[in-house]
Amino acid sequence: MAQTSQPERLCVGCRQLHPKSELVRIVRSPEGAIAVDPTGKSPGRGSYLCPSAECLRQARRQKGLSWSFKGRVDASVYDALEEVLRQYEGGRG
């Protein structure tokens, strides 16, 4: 009995596997712009982050997005993500 399972992705903060649907996707477009991808379908290299302030802190400290995107990521990207995550946390529960 083959059971279809939810795809899992690695959080760049806590470095744990989580169901893709529970994570926030950050995408680096082919032009190099980095943005949050609410649809999960934008073209470019994707990176995933738990929607928690602690995972964002860990990602910032460990340079998780730079590691994932294989290149330097400006600190302002983390600042913008902090604002986006506040909205995610505020919209839940």
Taking only the tens place, the pLDDT of each residue in 53-62 is 999 999 999 9
Q: Is the pLDDT of residue 17 over 90?
A: yes
Of the candidates 7, 12, 8, 6, the residue with the CA atom closest to the CA atom of residue 27: 12
Burial (CB < 10 A; 0-12, 13-18, 19+), residue 84, is middle
Q: Are 22 and 88 contacting, i.e. CB atoms less than 8 angstroms apart?
A: no
Q: Is the pLDDT of residue 88 over 80?
A: no
What Å distances lie between residue 33 and 26, 41, 67, CA to CA? 10, 15, 16
Q: Return the CATH class of domain 8-91.
A: alpha beta
User: What is the helix (H) or strand (E) element at residue 10, kind and residue range?
Assistant: strand 8-10
The confidence score (pLDDT) of residue 15 equals: 96
The confidence score (pLDDT) of residue 93 equals: 43
Listed as own residue / partner, the contacts of 39-42 with beta carbons closer than 8 Å and 24 or more positions apart are none
Distance CA 65, CA 84 (A): 16
**Considering the entire predicted model, what is its pTM?**
0.85
